Amino acid sequence: MKKSLMISLMVAALVCVFALPAVIAGNAPADTMVLKAPAGAKMTKAPVDFTHKKHAEDYKIDCMVCHHKATDKNAITGCSVEGCHADASKAAKKDPKGFYQAWHSKKSDASCVACHKKEKKAGKKVPVACKECHPKK
């Protein structure tokens, strides 16, 4: 009886050690991700390699700043999800709800361009020119 109890406890401990971190990290995004227009939309510049981990952990930017429509960190989805910034058409380029503006709006703290310009003004070394984020194809 004691032997089976000990084996059961050891198995449970191993499951906790190896399985729980995977379950907890289940919603965590990739460290680096490629940002590109939704399927079917034409991109005029190269996709952007985005260092999610650097922004979240090193720069301590709260997830909810960029993912401003989410109700909490477990409800975060991508910007092109229907109802958020899904319209990548040329007509929607200037629309605040358009896909382009999610990244390039100069008026929203949730956009890359506005945040980078603010950080540059504060003396930080951040990319602000198009080619710094969009390398040649």
Where in the chain are the domains?
Answer: 29-133
Structure tokens at 39: 């399927």
Kindly calculate the radius of gyration of the chain based on its CA atoms and give it in whole angstroms.
20
Distances (CA, A) of 117 to 8, 93, 114: 57, 20, 5
Q: Side chain identity at 86, as an amino acid letter?
A: A
Give me the pLDDT at residue 22, please: 52
Residue 102 zone, left/alpha/beta (φ > 0; ψ -120 to 50; rest):
alpha
> What is the mean predicted confidence (pLDDT) over 62-67?
89
Q: Which CATH superfamily is domain 29-133 in?
A: Cytochrome C3 (3.90.10.10)
Structure tokens at 65: 């700043």
State pTM to two decimals.
Answer: 0.72
Give me the pLDDT at residue 83, please: 72
